[in-house]
Amino acid sequence: MAMRLGLSLPQMRQYDIGRDVPDVARAAEQTGYESLWVFERILFPEPATQGLYGIPGLPWPDHYRSVADPLVTLTLAAAATERARLGTSVLVAPLHLPFQLARALASLDAASGGRVVAGLGTGWSLDEYRAAAVAPFAQRGKVLDELIDVCRTVWGPDPVAYKGSLTTIAPSVVGPKPKRPIPILLPATSPRARRRLVDKADGWMPVGMGAEALATQWEQLRELAAERGRKEPVQSVLRVNTRHTGTAYTGPDRSPFQGSVEQIAEDLFAHAEVGLEEILIDLQGDARDAEELKDLAAEVYAAARAAGV
């Protein structure tokens, strides 16, 4: 069986969100993509307190200057499609009040017929935390834990009741409920985060880092799941951030998923061999507009399938 392929929706400033999101979503579903994805970036600090991903000196990319709200984007895509799963990769948990986010995801799942996948993370931007977080950066792991617990509670049977550091729910009826249990996926890049994933989440959402490193981490995660007595299989979606240059790029410092369509497909194949279930392909950054994004997405899909992905 071929690996599932997903596509990131257009959220950046070169796109007309109201027009282009439904257009790209429909085209992606018709092409064969089985899922549609959004990410979260709420501001562009000038000057930035820290480098991109917390790496000193690494500049923020210009396309982060305007990123559409992820749940609004998914709602537009949900209304324009019928089958594709609708995922977040990822929502920065501490930027959201747990109860409100749980209700929003449940409503979207109910409206879309049970197609939502909740990718959640803790984020890295101190500037975003200062602007919008519900708790300090040092408490980000605790916020994510509570958010997961609140989601499970709100999505479960009524009456709903919960008492936590951020959230208190008196016994209540809370609806609508999701059409089915919404899968929760986590990036889980540290030992503590991997334990959280094994104990509390449904699956893993790594970022493409090279096939060898990915295989090592996947094996370590499965070993940890066995050690902690997990019975359910760990779901998996690999996120790949591409850079389409239009030509082959084979320099010694080449990152995965950079170069021509054919080379991107080769890198996808190498990562697919690791054995994860799905690959989410983000192509929106290099495209000038929605028409170019649709064309590139169709080319990459065809090349990946031809390569055996």
Instruction: Note down pLDDT in tens along the chain; length 309 residues.
Output: 589 999 999 999 999 999 999 999 999 999 999 999 999 999 999 999 899 999 999 999 999 999 999 999 999 999 999 999 999 999 999 999 999 999 999 999 999 999 999 999 999 999 999 999 999 999 999 999 999 999 999 999 999 999 999 999 999 999 999 999 999 999 999 999 999 999 999 999 999 989 999 999 999 999 999 999 999 999 999 999 999 988 877 666 677 899 999 999 999 999 999 999 999 999 999 899 999 999 999 999 999 999 999
Tokens of 201: 């989440």
Residues 6+ apart with CB under 8 A from 268: 240, 257, 279, 281, 304, 307, 309
pLDDT of residue 208: 92
Helices (H) and strands (E) in the chain, counts: 9, 12
Q: How many Å apart are CA 87 and CA 119, to the nearest integer?
A: 7
pLDDT of residue 252: 64
Give how far the C-alpha of residue 298 lies from the chain's centroid of Cα atoms, to the nearest Å. 21
Nearest residue to 280 via CA among 177, 187, 217? 187
pLDDT of residue 251: 67
- Residue 118's DSSP bridge partners are 88, 184
Give how far the C-alpha of residue 173 lies from the chain's centroid of Cα atoms, to the nearest Å. 30
How would you class 189 by CB atoms within 10 Å of its CB: exposed for 0-12, middle for 13-18, buried for 19 or more? middle
- pTM value > 0.85: yes
DSSP string, 219-273: HHHHHHHHHTT--S--EEEEEEE-EE-SS----TTPPTTEESHHHHHHHHHHHHT
Tokens of 26: 């429909």
pLDDT of residue 248: 78
Q: Which residues of 234-256 are buried (b: 16+ CB within 10 A; e: fewer)?
A: bbbbbbbbbebeeeeeeeeeeeb
DSSP string, 47-97: S-SS-GGG-TT-PPPGGGG-B--HHHHHHHHHHH-SS-EEEEEEEEGGGS-
